[in-house]
């Protein structure tokens, strides 16, 4: 390989392991290529260490697919982002932006750079896009 | 190809430092949400006292450490020098094997980025027990005996050890022995043995700041004792919440890479 490729390979090698070890997100999610989903909430669980949203997405063929979304700790969502047990209720329509899985499984990372809005009103429920990769907490 | 060797050298020394910047996880409280509006004012107010004159350390605190890397807290002139076996152990550690990732205790003095409290018993009068109540990590407590007792001769090794505390002026001094060797000092994987002996000194320097200075003595892992300092910030607008780590812990199968993110110096 030429020098430029070698250079790049070493940059990637040095960074990739370092940054994301703590949660293991790098192993599962592609944070460089976020996706947007039109979702209907099935269930929300504000728990620890990772909260969970279960939701349905209609795929291109019209089939309903069950997805899950992973967030940060329930304590932090409640404390820092004012979520309550009623923030998302079954049947709520939301638009979600987050990091998809690397392997294509119906799961999305919402703990870091992500955004959730109510589809009908545009009301923002969560916006941590500013955090991105460099600014995320832990 | 004549640039290959110098490029390699630049990268292997430069990248970890850059990566440390990139990672951007300073120790708490910088990590967490903005401070509350009264915080500035509280820094100018003196620390409160209890009716018997001892300092009042009660309140919801956030931070202190270590969290990410114990070396970040080394006080000026202090050095952390690993013995060769301990260095080898640390180098071999994988991030997924951090007990913290499996909802096991972080021991002493490591802290999770969640609030904690100091509570005393009895409430009114000279304390016989102090409790550190932790929201995060595993929602557990440390028990500090304040009644003047000594350490047992041969304690059973535990994650938090056997702690005895007393006041030296306005500083709470907590002496702990009887640790097992299982907890890691930080995400990096700095190890310790059952010989670990910690001496923590807590001083509430103003209403909103709790200074924590810890001397780590472990001849099984470190050439000499070293002292670190990590401070905590008061969060009076918070209460502790329930955090049950085992409820939805999904991370371990996905955590890759070595624990030690920065090559040993």
Q: Per the domain annotation, does A11 fall within a domain?
A: no
Q: Per the domain annotation, does B119 fall within a domain?
A: yes
Please tell me the total count of domains within chain A: 1
Whether A25 has its CB under 8 Å from any CB of chain B: the answer is yes
Q: Per the domain annotation, does A72 fall within a domain?
A: yes
Chain A partners within 8 Å of B15 (Cβ): 10-11, 14-15
Q: Which among B20, B22, B24, B98 is the top mutation candidate for probing chain A, defined by the most A β-carbons within 10 Å of its own β-carbon? A: B24
Please list the residues that pair with B130 across neighbouring strands: B120, B144
Q: Which percentage of chain B shows pLDDT scores above 70?
A: 86
CATH number of the domain to which A116 belongs: 2.40.50.140
- Report the distance separating Cα B105 and Cα B251, nearest Å: 16
Rounded to two decimals, what is the model's pTM?
A: 0.81
Burial class (CB in 10 A: 0-12, 13-18, 19+), B155: middle
Show the tokens assigned to B240: 């502790």
Chain A partners within 8 Å of B261 (Cβ): 17-18, 21
Domain assignment of residue B81, given as a range: 25-238
Q: Per the domain annotation, does B190 fall within a domain?
A: yes
Chain A partners within 8 Å of B12 (Cβ): 10, 14
Show the tokens assigned to B260: 């030690």
pLDDT tens across B138-193, in order? 999 999 999 999 999 999 999 999 999 999 999 999 999 999 999 999 999 999 99
Q: What is the mean pLDDT of residues B74-96?
A: 96
* Reported confidence tier of residue B1, pLDDT bands at 50, 70, 90: low
Q: Per the domain annotation, does A119 fall within a domain?
A: yes
pLDDT tens across A86-104, in order? 999 999 999 999 999 999 9
Portion 141-180 of B in contact with A at CB < 8 A: none
Q: What is the mean pLDDT of residues B106-123?
A: 92
* Whether B256 and A21 lie within 8 Å, measured CB to CB: yes
Whether B261 has its CB under 8 Å from any CB of chain A: the answer is yes
- Report the distance separating Cα B256 and Cα B96, nearest Å: 7
pLDDT tens across B192-241, in order? 999 999 999 999 999 999 999 999 999 999 999 999 999 999 999 899 99
* Reported confidence tier of residue A4, pLDDT bands at 50, 70, 90: low
* Whether B19 and A27 lie within 8 Å, measured CB to CB: no
Q: Mention every residue, 6+ apart, whose C-beta is less than 8 A from residue B170.
A: B47, B55, B203, B204
Whether B124 has its CB under 8 Å from any CB of chain A: the answer is no
CA-nearest residue to B189 within chain A is: A22
Q: Residue B243 is nearest to which of A3, A26, A73, comparing CB atoms?
A: A73
Q: Per the domain annotation, does B251 fall within a domain?
A: no
Domain assignment of residue A27, given as a range: 21-127
Q: Per the domain annotation, does A6 fall within a domain?
A: no
Q: Per the domain annotation, does A114 fall within a domain?
A: yes
- Interface size A-B, in CB pairs within 8 Å, comes to 119
Q: Per the domain annotation, does A38 fall within a domain?
A: yes
Q: Per the domain annotation, does B264 fall within a domain?
A: no
Show the tokens assigned to B254: 């996905």
Q: Residue B114 is nearest to which of A10, A21, A75, comparing CB atoms?
A: A75
Q: Per the domain annotation, does A10 fall within a domain?
A: no
Q: Per the domain annotation, does B5 fall within a domain?
A: no
Q: Per the domain annotation, does A95 fall within a domain?
A: yes
Please tell me the total count of domains within chain B: 1
């Amino acid at each position: 390989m030429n020098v430029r490729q070698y250079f790049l390979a070493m940059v990637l090698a040095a960074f990739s392991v370092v940054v994301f070890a703590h949660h293991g997100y790098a192993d599962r999610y592609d944070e460089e290529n976020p996706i947007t989903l039109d979702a209907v909430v099935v269930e929300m669980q504000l728990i620890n260490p990772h909260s969970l949203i279960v939701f349905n997405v209609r795929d291109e063929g019209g089939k309903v697919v069950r997805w899950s979304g992973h967030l940060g700790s329930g304590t932090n969502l409640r404390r820092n982002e004012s979520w309550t047990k009623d923030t998302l209720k079954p049947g709520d329509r939301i638009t979600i932006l987050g990091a998809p899985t690397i392997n294509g499984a119906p799961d999305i990372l919402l703990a870091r750079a992500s955004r959730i809005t109510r589809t009908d009103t545009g009301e923002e429920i969560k916006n941590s896009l500013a955090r991105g990769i460099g600014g995320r907490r832990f | 190809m004549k640039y290959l060797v110098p490029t390699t050298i630049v990268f292997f020394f430069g990248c970890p430092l850059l990566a440390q910047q990139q990672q951007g996880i300073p120790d708490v409280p910088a990590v967490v949400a903005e401070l509350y509006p009264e915080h500035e004012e509280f820094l100018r107010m003196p620390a409160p006292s209890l009716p018997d004159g001892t300092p009042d350390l009660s309140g919801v605190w956030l931070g202190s450490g270590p969290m990410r890397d114990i070396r970040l807290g080394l006080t000026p002139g202090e050095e952390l020098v690993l013995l060769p076996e301990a260095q080898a152990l640390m180098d071999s550690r994988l991030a997924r094997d951090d007990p913290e990732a499996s909802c096991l205790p972080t021991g002493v003095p490591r802290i999770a980025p969640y609030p904690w409290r100091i509570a005393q018993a009895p409430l009114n009068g000279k304390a016989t027990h102090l409790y550190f109540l932790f929201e995060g990590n595993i929602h557990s407590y440390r028990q500090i005996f304040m009644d003047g007792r000594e350490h047992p001769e041969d304690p059973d090794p535990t994650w938090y050890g056997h702690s005895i505390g007393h006041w030296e002026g306005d500083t709470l001094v907590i002496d702990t022995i009887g640790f097992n060797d299982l907890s890691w000092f930080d995400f990096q994987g700095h190890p310790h043995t059952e010989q670990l002996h910690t001496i923590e000194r807590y001083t509430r320097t103003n209403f909103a700041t709790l200074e924590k200075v810890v001397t780590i003595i472990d001849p099984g892992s470190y050439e000499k004792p070293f002292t670190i300092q990590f401070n905590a910030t008061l969060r009076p607008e918070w209460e502790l919440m329930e955090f049950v780590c085992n409820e939805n812990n999904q991370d371990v199968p996905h955590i890759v890479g070595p624990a030690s993110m920065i090559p040993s110096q």
